């Protein structure tokens, strides 16, 4: 066994990123504090062909030193929009036919391994603040909530790690053959 070289990975160039099939899925960043987390989410969204990122509230926006440090250029390959209000963003997405899903522990959340992503539906995954989680306003608008099962004491994951896990499952179900 050996590691593959960059040329063997058969990556597309940044100027051709819009030619690949994208998942019918957007990510909404609901008042994320850390630019490092935002950059990590950008990089994960690039890896899993996410259609768009909506940055809301006080979430840092590119170009931002911390975002650029972890995004490694993915702010140029994943389209994004800033919307001041998470609530307004979700209402707009709802009008556009998106199924809004809070990634949060709620009284009605569905465990990630039991959630079925349907190919005929568009999704907006809402990732919340590192301390407070998804805002109450976003929870009130959400059509569903997904929870990642955990066995440890904290019952909490870093928002970028959490996003990566849910996006992988969405990618597995919606994108891979």
pLDDT at res. 38? 98
C-alpha 92/C-alpha 69 separation (Å) is: 31
By CB atoms closer than 10 A (0-12, 13-18, 19+), residue 51 is middle
Position 18 pLDDT exceeds 90: no
Q: What is the pLDDT of residues 72-113, one digit of tens each?
A: 999 999 999 999 999 999 999 999 999 999 999 999 999 999
Domain 20-174: which CATH number of 3.40.50.720, 3.40.1280.10, 3.20.20.110, 2.40.170.20? 3.40.1280.10
> What does the DSSP 8-state code read for residue 15?
G
pLDDT at 159: 98
pTM of the model: 0.96
Q: Compute the distance between CA of residue 83 and CA of residue 29 in angstroms, rounded to an integer.
A: 10
**What would the two tokens of residue 32 be?**
């994320």
Tell me what pLDDT residue 6 has.
87
Query: Which pLDDT band holds residue 166 (cuts at 50, 70, 90)?
Result: very high
Instruction: Quote the pLDDT of residue 142.
Output: 98
% of residues, the chain, pLDDT over 70: 100
Q: What is the enclosing helix (H) or strand (E) of 147?
A: strand 144-147
Give the pLDDT mean for 141-149: 98
Residue 112: both structure tokens together: 């990630």
């Amino acid at each position: 066994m050996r590691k593959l070289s960059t040329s063997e990975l058969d990556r597309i160039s940044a100027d051709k990123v819009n030619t690949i099939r994208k998942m019918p899925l957007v990510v909404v960043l609901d008042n994320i504090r850390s630019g490092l987390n935002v950059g990590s989410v950008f990089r994960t969204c690039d890896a899993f062909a996410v259609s768009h990122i909506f940055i809301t509230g006080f979430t840092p926006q590119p170009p931002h030193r911390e975002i650029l440090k972890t995004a490694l250029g993915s702010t140029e390959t994943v389209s994004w929009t800033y919307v001041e209000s998470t609530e307004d963003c979700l209402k707009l997405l709802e009008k556009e036919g998106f199924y809004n899903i809070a990634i949060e522990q709620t009284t009605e959340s569905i465990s990630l391994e039991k959630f079925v992503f349907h190919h005929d539906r568009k999704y907006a995954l809402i990732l919340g603040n590192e301390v407070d989680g998804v805002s109450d306003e976003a929870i009130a608008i959400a059509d569903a909530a997904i929870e990642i099962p955990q066995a440890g004491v904290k019952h909490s994951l870093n928002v970028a790690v959490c996003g990566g896990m849910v996006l992988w499952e969405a990618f597995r179900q919606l994108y891979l053959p």
